[in-house]
Structure 1
Amino acid sequence: MVKKKHAFLLMVIPAFVLFFTFHTYPALQGIFYSFTDYKGYGNWDFVGFKNYFNVFQDGRALSAYGFTFQFAIVATILVNIISVLIAIGLNSNIKLRKTLRATYFLPYILSVLIVGYIFKFMFTHLLPQIGQALNIEFLSTNILGNPDLAWLGIVLVAVWQSAAFNTLLYLAGLSTIDDQVYEAASIDGAKPWARFWKITFPLIAPFFTINMVVAMKNFLMAFDQIVALTGGGPGQATESISLLIYRGGFQGGEFAYQSANAVIYFIVIVAISIIQLRVLERREVK
């Protein structure tokens, strides 16, 4: 028993030390500096909650919050709709299920930055050339250079790459539904939409909850896609909170101020996740 306890400690302690060193300690340090005027270098003094109050008066920060919420909500809705449709299609095709599952999961394992740069080339050069050749005005220009349309390009890339993970979860949920339930519904004359809304969706509701919470959290933390595609531009039209915190904290001498912004954003993400869980869990079949 003693040997097992020692073995357990030998496995846990190194992991705990690494996690605390590279995750917990930097987080606590950031919270500490959020109450100071630290610029990332030099001396500092305590300023209390001044940085937190300034965040709510910063037009650039509020604009970044607005863009991030807009992007996250639209992307979360789209990725779940697309993932459900793909999962239902794969689930109905037993012969090609494994092959197609591997194909759809491929984008998820690719580097976000590499995918972003590839799509940036497509938006900048390939699609405009195709649009000009076919006389399609919408495709003839680079949407990433349009302040009103650039965010749509980011949504497209983010949804395309994220759909794989959500699809796998929905496939796992569909595999738990007994085929006899559908057979009984067919005998009763239920149409496809009725079978989905009355049978499929309620039974995969726990997986829907997980996907909604995880997708929203990931999209709220969007960073790599934006860096690769637009760099936050044109201007500041696609600047997310994560990108703003990085730029201000590590490049703009606003380490303490952006640390306060990060703390606020962490609280916002946690609050949104808890609200999602509370609301969506009510729809689950008990």
Structure 2
Amino acid sequence: MSSTIAPRRRTALQQWRHRLPGILMGGPAVAVFIAMFVIPMILAAVLSFTDWNGYSLNFQFIGWENYAKAFRSPRSVQAAVFTGVIAVVGTVLCNAVGLTIAALIAGPGRSNTLLRTIFFYPYVISALIIGFIWSAMLSPNGAVNGLLTGLGAPAMPFLTEPAFAKASVIFTIVWSHFGFNMILFLAGIKSVPAEYYEAATVDGASRWQQFRSITLPLIAPVFTVNLVLTLVGLLKAYDVVLSLTDGGPAGSTQTIVYQILKDSFANSSLGFGAAQSILLLIVTAVIGLAVTVVRRRAEQKATD
């Protein structure tokens, strides 16, 4: 009996020795993930059921009141609607512009290399800085209106009229983000074997036919990555709004994250802000999962 137990113990000990390097290497990353994401998320979930103001240690559990308030508040609903518009319109435009430019400058040459650098550069700049730059350019006395009035055209209310302000926010976000999508599409286009295009050329296929029948199906996984990353990222849009319009005019360009931070700190209502954060987390996870599933099915159809 003891002769059979000893080999089992040695086998288990050998397995632990084999796993130990991986545990030691991955342990710090797991610890950081737990400390920076899991624990704060649990605390936020608990605080979302309280009336904590962020300063006092005295708070009461108020149940689902914060969640009900998030759905009743006109400001929260307005911010949610505008965030949805940014996410949908911004995702479509970022991917459309990124794919178009990637297809145009995918070839070799110094000019294409330079253009890739120029188009990608806005993504490297801080979103806050980009917002301040475009705020200076689109303000009533900014460079764009100065150019328009110099040409005899009327000045435009880019940041002072709600509809124009919303369009300005979306334009600025797309301008600063499409470079990332372009780089991913470029990587996907570069990975397509050249033999496919050579065979299509011999068969007499035009550039558009090659792009539609060869390039698009083979870079379908890149579409999935771009759509999910862009959509999830734009649902958290905040920096550009803060520096470009500061949520104005009349709160028309406030996003969910902007509203969460305003309620949490400016209005000293961290319990309500925590509830909004949990709702945003759930919505983002559901949308990201749904888009991934739909795109995976589209990929399978494209490659069949």
TM-score normalised by L of structure 2: 0.87
Q: Which residue of 2 aligns with 1:71?
A: 86
Given candidates 248, 256, 273, the residue that maps to 1:233 is 248
Using the alignment, how far apart are the partners of 2:27 and 2:157 within structure 1?
Answer: 52
Using the alignment, how far apart are the partners of 2:200 and 2:23 within structure 1?
Answer: 54
Using the alignment, how far apart are the partners of 2:198 and 2:210 within structure 1?
Answer: 10
Deviation at 1:55, TM superposition (A): 1.4
- What is the one-letter code of the residue matched to 1:171? L
Q: Which residue of 2 aligns with 1:108?
A: 123
Is contact 1:202-1:283 (8 Å) kept?
no
Gaps (5+ residues) in structure 1? none
Given candidates 163, 168, 174, the residue that maps to 2:178 is 163
**More displaced 10-residue stretch of structure 1: 12-21 or 147-156:** 12-21
Q: Which residue of 1 aligns with 2:28?
A: 14
Q: Which residue of 2 aligns with 1:121?
A: 136
- What is the one-letter code of the residue matched to 1:127? V
1:144 aligned counterpart, secondary structure: coil
Given candidates 75, 86, 91, the residue that maps to 2:101 is 86
- What is the one-letter code of the residue matched to 1:13? G
1:264 aligns with 2:279: yes
Using the alignment, how far apart are the partners of 2:210 and 2:22 within structure 1?
Answer: 49
1:184 aligns with 2:199: yes
Using the alignment, how far apart are the partners of 1:59 and 1:7 within structure 2?
Answer: 54
1:130 aligns with 2:144: no
Q: Which residue of 2 aligns with 1:27?
A: 41
Aligned identity (percent) is 32
Using the alignment, how far apart are the partners of 2:24 and 2:292 within structure 1?
Answer: 36
Is contact 2:50-2:62 (8 Å) kept?
yes
- What is the one-letter code of the residue matched to 1:207? V
Given candidates 291, 299, 304, the residue that maps to 1:276 is 291
Is contact 2:157-2:164 (8 Å) kept?
no
Is contact 1:52-1:257 (8 Å) kept?
yes
- What is the one-letter code of the residue matched to 1:111? S
**More displaced 10-residue stretch of structure 1: 114-123 or 182-191:** 182-191
- Residues 1:33 and 1:123: Cα distance change in structure 2 (over 3 Å): same
Deviation at 1:5, TM superposition (A): 6.0
- What is the one-letter code of the residue matched to 1:26? P
Deviation at 1:18, TM superposition (A): 3.1
Given candidates 150, 175, 183, the residue that maps to 2:190 is 175
Per-residue CA distance 1:22-66 (angstroms, 9 max, x = gap): 332222111110111212122111122221122111111111110
Is contact 1:38-1:255 (8 Å) kept?
yes
TM-score normalised by L of structure 1: 0.92
Is contact 1:169-1:211 (8 Å) kept?
yes
Is contact 1:220-1:269 (8 Å) kept?
yes
Given candidates 221, 225, 230, the residue that maps to 1:206 is 221
Is contact 2:192-2:218 (8 Å) kept?
yes
- What is the one-letter code of the residue matched to 2:79? A
Is contact 2:131-2:243 (8 Å) kept?
yes
Gaps (5+ residues) in structure 2? 1-13
Paired residues in the alignment total 284
Is contact 2:158-2:164 (8 Å) kept?
yes
Using the alignment, how far apart are the partners of 2:18 and 2:240 within structure 1?
Answer: 45
Q: Which residue of 1 aligns with 2:60?
A: 45
Per-residue CA distance 1:145-179 (angstroms, 9 max, x = gap): 11111111111211111111111111111011122
Per-residue CA distance 1:167-204 (angstroms, 9 max, x = gap): 11111110111222122222333233322222211111
